[in-house]
């Protein structure tokens, strides 16, 4: 029961300090908790017993303290099985006032108590002060416990570690480190958690070499000895150490990046958060492993973790680079459909916006993706919207080319003419070539030749040659079409005369 109270208290503490204390535990049970280990190591000047017995009067008082701290109350709570109904359940309701009164009585006659009895008393005072967030007095209580010569092994080792953690919470890094090392020296089984605490403390002291070593040992013990998955924050701290060591030129850039990739790959598998996908992808990018960067972003996209325009655009561009235009288009469309809520700083009201906005640049990228995926019918309406936003005429010219490809000649002519009206066109003569071809397909040969002649004035020899070839082709085709028309007319007249004679 008290262990549950302790855990809840330290969970709250973990959110109140920059240094993580989520695994800190204050000792408060009347039956001393075992932490394993012994103080009977070579070189020790004092021997501590594994167990002792309280004086009868002290034991009775301590029992009352435990009862006060274990007090519960009955409360009504919603019945999870029957909606709208309530059930009665027990809830922790520790009586700290009574516990303090009882401990004060022990404190007032501490000179009459045996050393072991005082150690138990100081243990409860440490817990009480800790529960009140009076960490200075909690630390003093545990220090007094450690000074008692008859403190048992379990009380002593547990108090050492608790005191170490409290010092770390108070940012007394050196003392916290010294106490953890002392604790490690006095127990038989050093835990992964203790190494992680040591690593965090060294990191705060900017001793990144020792911090990295401690965290790596914590991970090893967790996996090989204690058989559980290492904690998320350990990997994060290890990656941070490598970054700092790289910045300090202790390790090479390449080595640090290779090690960070291994860490982020583990984080992505064990703790698949967006942050780790982005960090892994960014590390791949720094190593010029762009295809791996693409695959990581794609995995994050599939998990619906992406929520920034830059992330969608980066993925789409990488997919285009590696010849996946259809998926690039799908990513962009998904970004257009996904909405985010942004608070207006002036009005304070929340507004909804698409992640990928309909800008000229974004629409052009989407149109290119559909076009490269041979989805021309999907590319055309997107490019129409982009062309209307553009200040130059190039998008209209590109649109004209797509219409030409789809045999929509009148639409092609309309689009290119709109493009040529713009003040800036990248290749006006190239646009005139396409415009001439559209007129040619509609058998507007005179207009076609007019456009081809305009294009032939370009200084580019390739365009000039192509335009002159089209001019000759248009002249020949014009003559052929006229001859066909004359022949058709002659045949129609002949048929009409023949029918007239027969009638």
Q: 3-state SS string over 143-179?
A: HHHHCCCCCCHHHHHHHHHHHHHHHHHCCCHHHHHHH
Give the mean model confidence (pLDDT) for residues 48-56.
75
- What string of H, E and C letters represents the secondary structure of 221-255? HHHHCCCCCCCHHHHHHHHHHHHHHHHCCCCCHHH
Over residues 289-342, the pLDDT tens digits come to: 999 999 999 999 999 999 999 999 999 999 999 999 999 999 999 999 999 888
pLDDT at 5 > cutoff 60: no
Tell me phi and psi for residue 91, to 5 degrees: -135, 140
**pLDDT of 8 higher than 90:** no
pLDDT score, position 503: 63
Q: How many CA atoms lie within 13 A of 118 on its CB side?
A: 18
Whole-angstrom distance, CA of residue 98 vs CA of residue 69: 9
Chain segment 413-429, per-residue pLDDT in tens: 999 999 999 888 888 99
Residue extents of the structural domains in the chain: 1-39+49-170, 390-502
Express each pLDDT in 431-480 by its tens digit: 999 999 999 999 898 999 999 999 999 888 899 999 999 999 988 988 89
Q: Which residues pair with 72 in a beta bridge?
A: 92
Instruction: Report DSSP state, residue 206.
Output: T
Measured over the CA atoms of residue 176, residue 11, residue 204 and residue 191, the dihedral's sign is: positive
User: What pairing do the DSSP bridges indicate for beta strands 86-92 and 72-78?
Assistant: antiparallel
Three-class SS of residue 339? Answer: strand
Distance (Å, whole) CA 186 – CA 274: 42
H or E stretch including 305?
Answer: none
35: enclosing H helix or E strand: none
pLDDT tens-digit readout, 366-404: 999 999 999 999 999 999 999 999 999 999 999 999 999
Q: How confident is the model at residue 22 (pLDDT cuts 50, 70, 90)?
A: very low
Q: Is residue 20's pLDDT more than 50?
A: no
Contacts with 338 (C-beta within 8 Å, 6 or more apart), sequence order: 307, 354, 355, 356
- pLDDT surpasses 50 at 54: yes
Rounded CA separation 276/281 (Å) = 8
pLDDT of residue 32: 40
- When pLDDT is cut at 50, 70 and 90, the band that residue 9 belongs to is very low
Per residue in 133-157, pLDDT (tens digit) is 999 999 999 999 999 999 999 999 9
Q: Which of 392, 389, 393 lies closest to 415 in space, CA to CA?
A: 393
* pTM for this predicted structure: 0.75
Pairwise CA distance, residues 469 & 449, whole Å: 11
| 390-502, CATH topology level | 1.25.40
> In whole angstroms, what is the distance from residue 302 CA to residue 259 CA?
26
3-class SS of residue 5: helix
**SS3 (DSSP) at 88:** strand
């Amino acid at each position: 029961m008290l262990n549950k109270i302790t855990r809840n208290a330290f969970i709250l503490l973990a959110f109140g300090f920059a240094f993580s204390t989520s695994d800190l535990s204050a000792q408060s049970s009347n039956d001393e908790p075992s932490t394993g280990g012994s103080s009977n190591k070579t070189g020790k000047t004092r021997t501590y017993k594994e167990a002792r017995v309280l004086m009868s009067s002290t034991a009775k008082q301590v029992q009352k303290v435990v009862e006060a701290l274990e007090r519960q109350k009955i409360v009504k709570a919603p019945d999870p099985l029957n909606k709208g109904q309530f059930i009665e359940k027990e809830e922790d309701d520790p009586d700290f006032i009574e516990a303090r009164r009882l401990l004060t009585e022990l404190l007032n006659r501490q000179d009459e108590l045996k050393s072991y009895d005082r150690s138990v008393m100081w243990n409860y005072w440490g817990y009480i002060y800790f529960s009140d967030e009076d960490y200075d007095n909690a630390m003093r209580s545990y220090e007094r416990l450690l000074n008692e010569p008859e403190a048992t092994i379990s009380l002593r080792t547990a108090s050492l570690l608790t005191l170490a953690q409290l010092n770390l919470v108070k940012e007394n890094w050196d003392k916290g480190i010294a106490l953890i090392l002392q604790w490690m020296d006095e127990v038989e089984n050093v835990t992964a958690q203790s190494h992680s605490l040591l690593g965090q403390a060294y990191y705060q002291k900017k001793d990144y070499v020792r911090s990295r070593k401690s965290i790596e040992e914590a991970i090893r013990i967790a996996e090989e000895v204690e058989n559980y998955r290492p904690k998320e924050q350990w990997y994060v701290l290890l990656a941070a150490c490598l970054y700092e060591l790289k910045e300090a030129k202790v390790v090479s850039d390449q080595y640090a990046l290779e090690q960070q990739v291994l860490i982020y790959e583990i984080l992505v598998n064990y703790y698949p958060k967006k942050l780790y996908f982005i960090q892994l992808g960014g590390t791949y990018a720094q190593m010029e492993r762009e295809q791996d960067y693409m695959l990581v972003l794609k995995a994050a996209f599939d998990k619906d973790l992406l929520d920034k325009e830059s992330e969608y655009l980066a993925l789409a561009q990488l997919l285009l680079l590696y010849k996946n235009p259809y998926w690039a288009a799908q990513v962009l469309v998904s970004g257009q459909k996904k909405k985010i809520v942004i608070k207006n700083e002036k009005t304070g009201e929340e507004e909804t916006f698409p992640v990928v906005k309909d800008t000229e640049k974004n629409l052009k990228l989407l149109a290119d993706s559909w076009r490269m995926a041979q989805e021309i019918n999907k590319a055309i309406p997107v490019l129409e919207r982009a062309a209307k936003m553009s200040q130059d005429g190039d998008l209209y010219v590109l649109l004209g080319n797509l219409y030409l490809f789809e045999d929509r000649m009148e639409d092609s002519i309309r689009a290119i003419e709109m493009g040529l009206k713009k003040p800036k066109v990248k290749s006006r003569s190239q646009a005139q070539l396409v415009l001439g071809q559209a007129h040619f397909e509609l058998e507007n040969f005179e207009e076609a030749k007019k456009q081809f002649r305009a294009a032939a004035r370009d200084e580019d020899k390739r365009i000039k040659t192509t335009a002159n070839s089209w001019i000759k082709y248009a002249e020949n085709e014009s003559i052929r079409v006229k001859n066909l028309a004359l022949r058709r007319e002659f045949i129609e007249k002949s048929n009409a005369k023949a029918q007239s004679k027969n009638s």
